[in-house]
Copies of this chain bind each other. A is one copy, B any other.
Amino acid sequence: MPRLLVSGFTISLDGYGAGPRQSTTDPLGAGGERLHEWLVTTAAFKRTHSAAPATRGAGDESGPDEEFAARSMTEIGAWILGRNMFGPVRGAWPDESWRGWWGRNPPYHTPVFVLTHHARPSLEMEGGTVFHFVTDGIHAALDRARAAAGSKDIRLGGGAATIRQYLQARLIDEMHLAVAPVLLGSGEHLFADIDLPALGYTCTESVPGVKAVHYIVARA
């Protein structure tokens, strides 16, 4: 059965997966972009995100940052995203004009199941990405992702609130978290009210990269 994985999800030293005041121009919230410096400078990220905004610095193509970035993008057969990762629209969809942050050819290239309370027809993009809007909860989204993923794994993209829901239901098999050396102070906290050991998770590995430290958290 496909595993449900979190990969490359980055939190600040004080535990936030996004900064405060998320908006169309600031999708990761105030200061949130600094979280992903380790990722957006990797060659693996630049290959898969042709419209990548960041070209600062050069990735160390053989270091842990590079390896974790490359690993996170392979062998994925389906994605699950919280609605706020798909876009800034809240409440009922006013129309179908919002088609995600990523332009015509999003970096997923698989079916992507978007959790929402508001139904909307599936949306086929270039490059094999198809957004499906799931209104009947996290278990239903996982069932559909499993059916779509075949022999590959499923990646849960986030955000923090969605990961917390799947953790509390003990549905995540393994998480690769990156901790960036920045402080955000407020925003979406990944571990708030989550007792990971009580849910059966342990930290099995820690690997320092150049711009972040990588941790594997797995269910025993």
Q: Which residue of B lies closest to A193 (CB)?
A: B186
Nearest B residue to A212 by beta-carbon distance? B206
Contact yes or no, B196 A183, CB < 8 A: yes
1/0 contact string of A121-145 vs chain B (CB within 8 Å): 0000000000000000000000000
Tell me whether A206 and B181 are in contact (CB under 8 A): yes
Give the contact stretch, choosing among A1-9, A85-93, A197-205.
Answer: A197-205
Are the C-beta atoms of B186 and A203 separated by less than 8 Å? no
B191 near A203 with CB under 8 A, answer: no
A213 at the interface (CB under 8 A from B): yes
A215 within 8 A of B: yes
Query: Are the C-beta atoms of A185 and B208 separated by less than 8 Å?
Result: no
> Which chain B positions have C-beta within 8 A of A154?
none
CB-CB under 8 A for A185 and B181, given A13-B215, A213-B208:
no
Q: Is the CB of A14 within 8 A of B191?
A: yes
Q: Is the CB of B208 within 8 A of A183?
A: no
Copies in the complex: 2
A18 at the interface (CB under 8 A from B): no
Contact code string A1-31 (vs B, CB < 8 Å = 1, else 0): 0000000000001110000000000000001
Whether the Cβ atoms of B181 and A203 lie closer than 8 Å is: yes
A179 at the interface (CB under 8 A from B): yes
Query: When A14-B15, A15-B15 are in contact, do A203 and B215 touch as well, CB less than 8 Å?
Result: no
Q: Is A182 an interface residue (CB 8 A)?
A: yes
**Sample of 15 more A-B contacts, CB < 8 Å, known A13-B215, A182-B203, A186-B198:** A13-B179, A14-B191, A15-B15, A31-B197, A179-B179, A181-B205, A181-B215, A183-B197, A183-B202, A183-B203, A184-B197, A185-B194, A185-B198, A186-B195, A206-B213
8 A-B pairs within 8 Å (CB atoms) are namely A13-B179, A14-B191, A15-B15, A181-B206, A183-B197, A183-B201, A185-B194, A185-B195
